[in-house]
Amino acid sequence: MVLLHHLEQGMRPISRCYNPTAYSTTMGRSFFAGAATSSKLFSRGFSVTKPKSKTESKEVAAKKHSDAERRRRLRINSQFATLRTILPNLVKQDKASVLGETVRYFNELKKMVQDIPTTPSLEDNLRLDHCNNNRDLARVVFSCSDREGLMSEVAESMKAVKAKAVRAEIMTVGGRTKCALFVQGVNGNEGLVKLKKSLKLVVNGKSSSEAKNNNNGGSLLIQQQ
């Protein structure tokens, strides 16, 4: 009896520390609270993306293709607009005519360049002629001694016929200058004769004021390459 009494007294502290009902209730509340918190974090930090259907994928691809095609057409139209502004003898404005005139004009300029000697002559000379029977476009080639203000004198002399240089190639070697001009707006043989007379003064080394006295207006655009 004494032994049993001691065992009962030893079990009482253990029962005070361990309460099965209270422990299970507390653990249950903690578990559900943690589950609710995890659910909130998942809903805030992550989203489930629904896979696109085949119809939606096709619509997206078609829109991308349409946008790319629109940008391509805008780029091509811009290039055609540029060609229309630089082609000298363009009559029709449709794309087929623009392409045809571009090819023709390119081949014409290519042939002109091939016919020009690449180095300046040792003697002063001047040559003018119409390009491929085009009375509005002339080719001017001259060689002379290089000097300061030479091209300014050439520009002044061009004013006599109100011409516009669409292309120019200039080379200077050993104190000699060779210049090839492709001039638009010469206005037939009369304009060609006036231009030759004015340029001859420049080639022969006359003063720019003397060359200017032979001119009566106009403008020139020269591009040095």
| 18 pLDDT higher than 80 | no
Element (H, E) at 209: helix 208-212
Instruction: State the Cα–Cα distance between residues 40 and 34, nearest whole angstrom.
Output: 10
| 132 pLDDT higher than 60 | yes
Contacts of 225 (CB under 8 A, 6+ apart): 168, 169, 170
Residue with tokens 């081949």: 107
Give residue 105's pLDDT band: very low, low, confident or very high (50, 70, 90). Answer: confident
| 208 pLDDT higher than 50 | no
Give residue 115's pLDDT band: very low, low, confident or very high (50, 70, 90). Answer: low
**Structural domain boundaries of the chain?**
71-115, 118-212
Sign of CA dihedral 105, 162, 192, 125: negative
pLDDT in tens, 193-202: 888 888 888 8
Percent of the chain's residues with pLDDT above 90: 11
CA angle 165/167/169 to nearest 5° reads 115
pLDDT in tens, 70-97: 999 999 999 999 999 888 888 889 999 9
What pTM, to 2 d.p., does this model score?
Answer: 0.42
Mean pLDDT of 130-139: 77
For 164, the token pair is 């516009």
CA distances (Å), 164 to each of 3, 33, 83, 181, 187, in order?
A: 131, 88, 18, 10, 11
Amino acid at 200: K
Mean pLDDT of 171-183: 87
At residue 182, φ and ψ (nearest 5 deg) are -115, 110
Range from 43-52, 92-101, 124-133, 212-221 carrying the lowest mean pLDDT: 212-221
Tell me the CB-side half-sphere exposure of residue 98, using CA atoms within 13 A: 14
Give residue 43's pLDDT band: very low, low, confident or very high (50, 70, 90). Answer: low
Q: What pLDDT does 216 receive?
A: 44
Which tops the pLDDT comparison, 220 or 192? 192
Contacts of 128 (CB under 8 A, 6+ apart): 138, 139, 140, 141, 192, 195, 196, 199
Q: What pLDDT does 47 receive?
A: 54
Instruction: State the Cα–Cα distance between residues 21 and 3, nearest whole angstrom.
Output: 30
Mean pLDDT of 124-131: 84
What single-letter DSSP state applies at residue 139? E
Give residue 49's pLDDT band: very low, low, confident or very high (50, 70, 90). Answer: low
Q: What pLDDT does 219 receive?
A: 34
Range from 73-82, 129-138, 147-156 carrying the lowest mean pLDDT: 129-138
pLDDT in tens, 94-104: 999 999 999 98
Q: In terms of CATH, what superfamily is 118-212?
A: ACT domain (3.30.70.260)
| 46 pLDDT higher than 60 | no
